[in-house]
Amino acid sequence: MEKDKLDPWGTSSIKDYSRLQSEFGIQPVGPLLTRFKKPSPHLSRGIDFGQRDLARVIDAVDGNKPYAVMSGIKPDGVFHLGNKMTADDMIYFQSLSKKSTVFYAIADVEAYADNGLSFNESSKTALRNVADILALGLDPDQAVVYKQSEEMRVMRLATIFSRGVTNNMLKAIYGERQIGLYMSALVQAGDILMPQLPDFGGPKPVLVPVGADQDPHIRLTRDLAGRYGSEFGFLPPSAIYHRLELSLTGGQKMSKRVPESGFTLDDTPAEAAKRVKVAFTGGRDTVEEQRRLGGRADICPVYDLYRFHFAKDDEHVERVYYECTEGIRLCGECKQEAIGLVKTFLEQHHKKREAMMGDAKELLAKSRSYLSSTGKE
């Protein structure tokens, strides 16, 4: 069996999530589940499968102590299902306490460097992306949104870190890469550690919700937090890892880089429906066979749509799984139901997002004035 590979810039293949524990030191979420009064769907459905130092964040929740949740987006025009996964986690962990603060980075410098998007274009997309997360449930009163192009603190940290890492350390984590990717990794480390700067109240637990493929960034940042611990007092950031969703085309992983592999929150309900309609499934070759052997939900991206996003509740997920694997439910009807859920979700989301545009503008303006005022001598 091939070794699992975690590549934040490629297509990761993760066949056995439990092996991530022994190989990379990611801890299981299971033993901590009892500490959540009301676990999120990601937790109760085993989508969030792994963690590092998550207990530190739960302790902060229980002790009514400040903590941060850090995430971000590259405003390259789409908010895809993977972004939604991370946003769902971010919003859930924000909601656990009045003492939490979400730090949300708009990676417009990277969008410019990688995609040639001007800051003006990015600005428009960023506004819509912020409306996206507000529509998904972000509390704007406990959130700071910043643009990389305006946040010198992140760049300063990246520069400092660039002196502390060696090429060998980066190679060990990422393999041999071009300098631009290394630099973007250091900038992300700056993003993750910024909430612990004195300007923001100093050292505190910081949770980063990520896909399993992003673990190399977490390892690098935890290493840097240690190296600069005596200087800045950084705590190593905590992380929670979600499973990677299966591609609608039947490949390994849903990816922004392969549009047909999923859809985005910007797609029209009709466009999304079309993608689901032609999706790969875990169905058998013939109806007879499927009735007899049952479908293979575990390799089915349509089942993942239910489980990861659109099922009404946990019971609904279980029912779909049961009906599929017992051969009660066939792929055609299953897709029809999924399409209905996806359409309803997108219609509602588009309405909510439209209604949130004003709030998004306000959150960006409020954040900007807060960020430019804090830490100024």
Binding site for a second copy (CB under 8 A): 109-110, 112-114, 120, 149-150, 152, 155-156, 158-160, 162-167, 170, 176, 178-180, 182-184, 186-187, 377
Quote the CA–CA distance of 334 and 323 in Å, as a whole number.
Answer: 10
Residue 158, token pair as written in the block: 């990246």
Spatial contact of 268 and 275, defined as CB atoms under 8 Å apart: no
Residue 43 CB, nearest distance to a second copy (Å)? 36
Element at 208 (helix H, strand E): strand 206-211
Rounded Cα distance between 86 and 80, Å, is 10
Rounded least distance, CB 299 to a second copy, Å: 36
- Which residue's CB is nearer to a second copy, number 183 or number 328? 183
Residues whose CB falls within 8 Å of the CB of residue 330, separated by 6 or more in sequence, listed in order: 283, 287, 290, 295
Using only the alpha carbons of the chain, give its radius of gyration.
Answer: 21
If you ran DSSP here, which 8-state letter would residue 327 be given? T
Q: How far is the CB of 269 from a second copy (least distance, A)?
A: 35
Taking the complex as a whole, how short is the minimal distance between the CB of residue 146 and a second copy, in angstroms?
A: 12
For residues 161 and 241, which CB has a smaller minimum distance to a second copy in the complex?
A: 161
> Which residue's entry shows tokens 């940042």?
221
- Judged by beta carbon, residue 187 or residue 194, the one nearer a second copy is 187
Residue closer to a second copy (CB basis): 79 or 232: 232
C-alpha closest to that of 215 among 253, 257, 244, 190: 244
C-beta closer to a second copy: residue 299 or 365: 365
Check if the beta carbon of residue 213 is closer than 8 Å to that of residue 6.
yes
Q: Which is nearer to a second copy, 25 or 180 (CB)?
A: 180
CB of 184 or CB of 247, closer to a second copy: 184
Q: How far is the CB of 160 from a second copy (least distance, A)?
A: 5
Nearest of 184, 161, 204 to residue 69 by alpha carbon:
204
Residue 74 Cβ vs a second copy, minimum distance, rounded to whole Å: 13
Residues forming a β-bridge with 146: 105
For the sheet with 27-28, list strands across it.
27-28, 48-52, 238-242, 206-211, 67-73, 100-106, 143-147
Q: Is 9 or 280 the residue whose CB approaches a second copy more closely?
A: 9
The distance of closest approach from Cβ of residue 10 to a second copy in the complex, given in angstroms and rounded to an integer, is 17
Give dist(CA 59, CA 331) in Å, integer: 44
**Least CB distance to a second copy at residue 110 (A):** 7
